[in-house]
Structure 1
Amino acid sequence: MGFSTMFTTSLFADLVETLTSIGIGIGAVFLFLIILVAIFSRFYVKVGPERAVIRTGFGGLKEAVGKGMIVIPVFHKKEFMDMSVKRIEIKRLGEDGLVCRDNIRADIEVAFYVRVSEGGVKDVAKKLGAARASDRQALIELFDAQFSEALKTIGKQFDFVELYTERDRFKVEIMNIIGTDTEDLQGYEMVSVAIDYLEQTPLEMLNPNNILDAEGIKKITDLTSREAIRSNDIEREKEKAITKQDV
């Protein structure tokens, strides 16, 4: 009877020790998970759909668009990039006006709408930096030459009147020339193009010593003269009709 009691007591002690060890193990795992969650909550940086977080430092340059990532201050540096649509205006006025196929010069203002593409975040971050990615002046410096050259190329494919009446085709051709891919636009993507202003460049702004302007002046003078003659003929016909009615 004494042996049985001792065996039972020993078995119970072993069971208690085993359960205690298991409890300690579960507690340690639970504590570890709590610490992980705390670290995750403390260092997890999340951004909205039109922003990106850029992380540099340990592990190299990493980006997250519209979501988040772990950023540990000791090892990493974070920056935020605005990925909303930005407007860039390109103006060609006066003696710098756009030369059309018929050599008539046009005063034109075109708005280009661009944004950083998801696939181009790293390239833009390296080239401009996250803070300057949406800076208007930085974007003008980046795209002015490219967009201006595209306007010159397209302008020579339209007579002035066509440019004025076929704006939609003009915008399509601009998009085709510039391209819409990230590679074409150095990490950005083209969203749309709009012609804000389009008028014939005033004659007094043209240079008669410039061969293109000289041709344009000749064309404008010829067109306006013919229109003046046509208008005069119409007025005379009206006067004749009135005279006949009076008789």
Structure 2
Amino acid sequence: MGTLSIMTLVVAAIIVLGVIGLLVMITRFYVKVPQGWALIVNDTSATPKVKFTGGVVWPVINKKELMKISLITLQIDRANKDGLICKDNIRADISVAFYLRVNETSQDVLKVAKSIGVDRASDRDAVNELFNAKFAEALKTVGKQMNFVDLFEDRIGFRDKIVEVIGNDLNGYALEDVAIDYLEQTPKASLDPNNILDAEGIRKITELTATHNVHTNNL
């Protein structure tokens, strides 16, 4: 066998060993991302890389962070003297669940990481602090657009209006759903007759009750 052939075999062997070694290293440093999580890889580039299934994290030159992006439930309850005021000034005891998650795009994951941090992205208390005022204001706004009876009978329409008022600008989060878990008229005993709105609500409840009783007696 000539010298050239031997050198060719040596080079080929080195290439094969190099490829095998590279594959072993990739397998060793590959990080699989669990469902409901995102992998953020900080490398030498200006913008970190975001992976949703998995990626290679090289030691020393890369830094990895895992962000939980699974569904979070935020609950807003309004009852008694703090009940939701409707268009006709009747108060409603209401419990609304808001389902949201970090939006599954690289841009939104990085936006959330920058705004509240990777570790707090799916922390219920942190997210509640971020959105409670916005969601409560949306609830109040829509409540004042509907009479209590309309709100009670058209919960889907009520829900859709809440979603519309909240909008899509949620700082990297996506609102998956809104559910009206509980909705009833606030008892008259819980209302303050010295409050102008409650006084009007009491008057309206009295009128509706009287009308209902007359209708029932005529049956």
Output the TM-score relative to the length of structure 1. 0.81
**Aligned pairs for 1:163-178 within 5 A:** 163-178=151-166
Shift of 1:61: 4.9
Residues 205 and 82 (structure 1), Cα distance of their counterparts in 2 relative to 1, 3 Å cut: same
* Aligned mate of 1:45, from 19, 27, 31: 31
Question: Which whole-Å deviations, capped at 9, do the CAs of 1:13-35 have from their partners, x for residues lacking one?
Answer: xx621011111111121122122
| Structure-2 residue corresponding to 1:20 | 6
| Structure-2 residue corresponding to 1:59 | 45
Give the 3-state SS of the residue equivalent to 1:132 in structure 2. coil
**In the aligned structure 2, how far is the partner of 1:98 from the partner of 1:63?**
44
Aligned length: 217
Shift of 1:197: 0.1
Question: Which whole-Å deviations, capped at 9, do the CAs of 1:28-78 have from their partners, x for residues lacking one?
Answer: 211221221122112221214432111235435524342222222323332
Question: Which whole-Å deviations, capped at 9, do the CAs of 1:188-240 have from their partners, x for residues lacking one?
Answer: 11111110000111112222222111111111122223333444455xxxxxx
5+ residue gaps, structure 1:
1-14, 235-247
Shift of 1:114: 0.8
| Structure-2 residue corresponding to 1:243 | none
Question: Which whole-Å deviations, capped at 9, do the CAs of 1:121-180 have from their partners, x for residues lacking one?
Answer: 11111122222211111221111011001001111111000000001111111111112x
| Structure-2 residue corresponding to 1:194 | 179
Whether 1:214 aligns to 2:202 is no
| Structure-2 residue corresponding to 1:12 | none
**In the aligned structure 2, how far is the partner of 1:110 from the partner of 1:230?**
33
Whether 1:125 aligns to 2:113 is yes
**In the aligned structure 2, how far is the partner of 1:39 from the partner of 1:127?**
34
Q: Which is richer in helix?
A: 1
Give the 3-state SS of the residue equivalent to 2:89 in structure 1. coil
Shift of 1:83: 2.1
Contact residue 207 and residue 214 of structure 1 kept, 8 A: yes
Contact residue 91 and residue 110 of structure 1 kept, 8 A: yes
Give the 3-state SS of the residue equivalent to 2:55 in structure 1. strand
Output the TM-score relative to the length of structure 2. 0.91
5+ residue gaps, structure 2:
none
Residues 59 and 42 (structure 1), Cα distance of their counterparts in 2 relative to 1, 3 Å cut: farther
- 1:64 partner letter: V
Residues 50 and 24 (structure 1), Cα distance of their counterparts in 2 relative to 1, 3 Å cut: same
Which protein has greater RCO, CA pairs closer than 8 Å, 6+ apart?
A: 2
**In the aligned structure 1, how far is the partner of 2:52 from the partner of 2:217?**
65
Give the 3-state SS of the residue equivalent to 2:121 in structure 1. helix
**In the aligned structure 2, how far is the partner of 1:225 from the partner of 1:193?**
34
Contact residue 47 and residue 68 of structure 1 kept, 8 A: yes
**In the aligned structure 1, how far is the partner of 2:177 from the partner of 2:147?**
23
- 2:159 partner letter: K
| Structure-2 residue corresponding to 1:113 | 99
Shift of 1:107: 0.8
- 2:139 partner letter: L
**Aligned pairs for 1:117-156 within 5 A:** 117-119=103-105, 120-156=108-144
